[in-house]
Amino acid sequence: MKELTIQTSITVAQMDELTDTERQLVRQAIEATSRSYAPYSHFNVGAALLLQNGETFIGCNQENAAFPAGLCAERSAIFAAGAQYPDQPVVMLAIAARNPQGELQEEPVSPCGTCRQVLIETETRFRQPVRILLYGSRHIYIVDGIKQLMPLSFTEF
């Protein structure tokens, strides 16, 4: 028997350490939290993504009394971008969330397993990693590719 060690690399930054483009994307994700429809969890999530062609898309979680019928912010942004620009790779994705009291989360929130799988598919499809910015009011996690959050991923290849 042999032990396998898997390491993840995440950069911790403050807003003023981000590039102008990264800050703008984070602000769009924060703004998108106000468009969320979360009457059951009261956990409002917003996402903003940047395509290689410079276009940006936002998404927010949309809940439903039949829980499987809802959709996460990350997937709503990715699918909207894919519907408009199917041949454009996603370059960067920012995610922010508000707690049930309506305050921005202090700690960054990471994508759920289903969203991680969609990001794996997106990276595999375009053969390039997506830079992920996970916003928290205390700090921001920067992840260069979803495989940092999901190293043993399921892909076609």
User: How far is it, in rounded angstroms, from Cα 60 to Cα 41?
Assistant: 13
3-state DSSP call for residue 48?
A: strand
HSE-CB at 59 with a 13 A cutoff on CA atoms is 24
- Residue 157, Cβ neighbours under 10 Å: how many? 4
User: How far is it, in rounded angstroms, from Cα 122 to Cα 71?
Assistant: 17
Sheet order of strands, 56-60 included: 11-13, 140-144, 131-135, 90-98, 44-51, 56-60
Active site residue 74: yes
Structural contact between residues 89 and 119, judged by C-beta atoms closer than 8 angstroms: no
Q: Which member of 22, 74, 106, 107 is catalytic?
A: 74
Amino acid 55 reads E
Catalytic (active-site) positions = 74
